[in-house]
Amino acid sequence: MPPWIQALRRRLRGPLPGRVAQARMAPCPRPGWEPDVSHPGPPREGAVLILLYPCQGPIHLPLIRRPEYNGVHSGQIGLPGGGKEAGDPDPVATALREAQEEIGVDPAAVTVLGELTPLYIWASHFQVQPVVGWTPRRPHFRLDPQEVAGLLEVSLQELRDPANREEEEWMLRGRRVRVPFFRIQGQVVWGATAMILSELLALLEETLAPH
C-alpha cells in the first residue's frame, strides 16, 4: 500500500472536512441538507464506494453512468452503490455488495480505508454513506446492463484539475440554481456525487498529494 494511501487511511479516522467541503460542489440553493416533512418517513439508507486503484501509473476511481429510466437519477454519472438490503450489516457491506453487483468488483480485493461524511439526498430521500476503498490492481470490471449504462475510469489528476470544474445556472424543480460540476471525459458530474468527491479531494489535499 503506497505511503499516501496509508496517510489517507489514518486521516479518515480523524475529524472530516464534512459539509464545508461538500458545499463547495453543492447546487445553490440546495433543497435541503436534512430530511423534512415534504418526505414521509425516515430516509432510506444507502452507501457508495469510492474505489482507488492504479491504472498505468496514475490513481483512478470508477464512476458509472446510470441507464435512462423514469426516476430522478436517470442517465446521471454516479459512484457505484445503492440502497441497504436486509442482509447488509453496515454501510461498508452495502457499498461492497453494490459495487460487486454493478461493476463486478471483488469485495475480497478491496481494502476499506474508511468512510466520508454521510450525505442526505433530497431528491431521492436517501441518506448515503460514502466508503473509501483501495485495491492494488485495476479491477476486471463487469458491468450489469440493468444497472449501468457505461463506466468512466477517472484519474485523481482529472478531478484535481481546476480546468475540469465549471459552474452554470440551471433550472431545477422550477427554480434557478447555480450548479458547480466536474466536466470529465465529456461527462457532467454534479450533485451528490460531486459533493462526495469534493470531500475526498479536500482530504487528499491535507495528506500527501498522489501522483
φ and ψ at 55, to 5 degrees?
-145, 105
The CA–CA distances, whole Å, from 13 to 8, 10, 132, 135, 194 equal: 9, 5, 12, 19, 22
pLDDT of residue 123: 83
Q: Are 203 and 11 in contact (CB under 8 A)?
A: yes
pLDDT of residue 40: 75
- Residue whose grid cell is 496517510: 7
Residues of the chain with pLDDT below 70 are 36-37, 70-74, 208-211
The pTM (predicted TM-score) of the whole model is: 0.93
| Neighbouring C-beta atoms of residue 80, cutoff 10 Å | 28
CATH number for domain 3-206, candidates 2.40.30.10, 3.10.110.10, 3.90.79.10, 1.10.1370.30: 3.90.79.10
pLDDT tens-digit series, residues 85-130: 999 999 999 999 999 999 999 999 999 999 999 999 988 889 999 9
pLDDT of residue 29: 84
DSSP structure string for the chain: --HHHHHHHHHTTS---THHHHHTTS-BS-S-SS--TTS-SSPEEEEEEEEEEESSSSEEEEEEEPPP-SSTTTT-EE-SEEE--TT--SHHHHHHHHHHHHH---GGGPEEEEE---EEETTTTEEEEEEEEE-SS-------TTT-SEEEEEEHHHHH-GGGEEEEEEEETTEEEEEEEEEETTEEE-HHHHHHHHHHHHHHHHS----
Q: Are 144 and 101 in contact (CB under 8 A)?
A: yes
Average pLDDT across the chain, whole number: 92
The CA–CA distances, whole Å, from 122 to 45, 53, 127, 128 equal: 13, 31, 9, 11
CA gyration radius for the chain? 16
Q: Can you say whether the dihedral through the CA atoms of 197, 202, 208, 211 is positive or negative?
A: positive
Maximum distance among all Cα pairs of the chain, rounded to whole angstroms:
49
The strand pairing partners of 89, in sequence order, are: none
pLDDT of residue 136: 97
pLDDT of residue 70: 67
